[in-house]
Homo-oligomer: A and B are copies of this chain.
């Protein structure tokens, strides 16, 4: 039996689907329908179903095929963490090495190939992704050059001024429609954080939950330009914010604000919500600036915060 990335991903998606749709034991898992739903052919669906059988989520049905087995929370947990693409880890490794100064400003593809033991295709994928996110650039001839986007404080302030503009405006978009279930899901998560989980979750997870909330809100605007713009910023932020130790007390304060914000939205008070979002982001921005108050060129006044960024 083969378990390819696609198969694993599909299995996780199907599990999510079962949970989201509240499907009960004994219901058929129809191959064709699942294939249509997730835009793949039946082949990977079959493999995914076999995988789900092994996890105990599905069992063979009468007359072939699979039906849903039992559904305790424990069973799901096994598939909970979406198996991130192998590439994603290497991508983060490169970002890591870059931010911590292990990679020079300019580098060739072959050098990266050697360092990270990749195939050419994979590396090309990763490089293009980084280029799209705007922190590496192809040189006219051979090689690539890292851009200073991530490392400068200036970029941070810039990104917050941009968010300050678009996020409140998105809430006031004419096409804005609340996605209640998604928002309520976010509220549960934020409540969970406030109730103490915040001191236990990883940086990565915390970042994911918070940016996920902001993205859920902006998605309600149903204007892809707002949505894409924020998502692009978040992909960039992820690379930095992952790494710095987030201060949990102020993070908790932010989560409380998130809860307020969600409640305003759920109550239909869009205008107030937009105002609140503005204030929330303004606070966030000053927080960040205070935390990393080093000018790009200037020597650091606070050695504790100045991690060497580039060789």
B residues within 8 A CB of A6? Answer: 140-141
Docked CA distance A173–B161 (Å): 9
- How far apart are the CA atoms of A132 and B130 in the complex, in Å? 11
* Shortest Cβ distance from A169 into B: residue: B165
Give Cα distance in the complex from A174 to B157, angstroms: 11
Whether B10 contacts A140 by the Cβ 8 Å rule is: yes
Contacts of A232 in B (CB 8 A): 228
In the complex, per-residue mask of A158-173: 1 if CB is within 8 Å of any chain B CB, else 0? 1101100110010001
CB of A211 within 8 A of chain B? no
Is B166 in contact with A39, judged by CB distance below 8 angstroms?
no
B-binding segment of A53-61, A187-195, A219-227, A291-299: A219-227
Chain B residue at minimum C-beta to C-beta distance from A142:
B41
B residues near A118, Cβ cutoff 8 Å: none
C-beta contact mask, A231-247 vs B, less than 8 Å → 1, else 0? 01100000000000000
Closest to A221 in B: B158
Q: How far is the CB of A41 from chain B (nearest CB, A)?
A: 6
Which residues from chain B contact A158 at a C-beta distance below 8 Å?
A: 175, 223-225
A-B contact pairs, 29 of them (CB 8 A): A38-B140, A39-B140, A39-B141, A39-B145, A40-B139, A40-B140, A40-B141, A128-B128, A134-B228, A149-B224, A154-B175, A155-B224, A158-B223, A158-B224, A158-B225, A159-B225, A161-B174, A161-B223, A161-B225, A162-B166, A162-B225, A162-B226, A162-B229, A165-B165, A165-B166, A165-B169, A166-B166, A225-B229, A228-B232
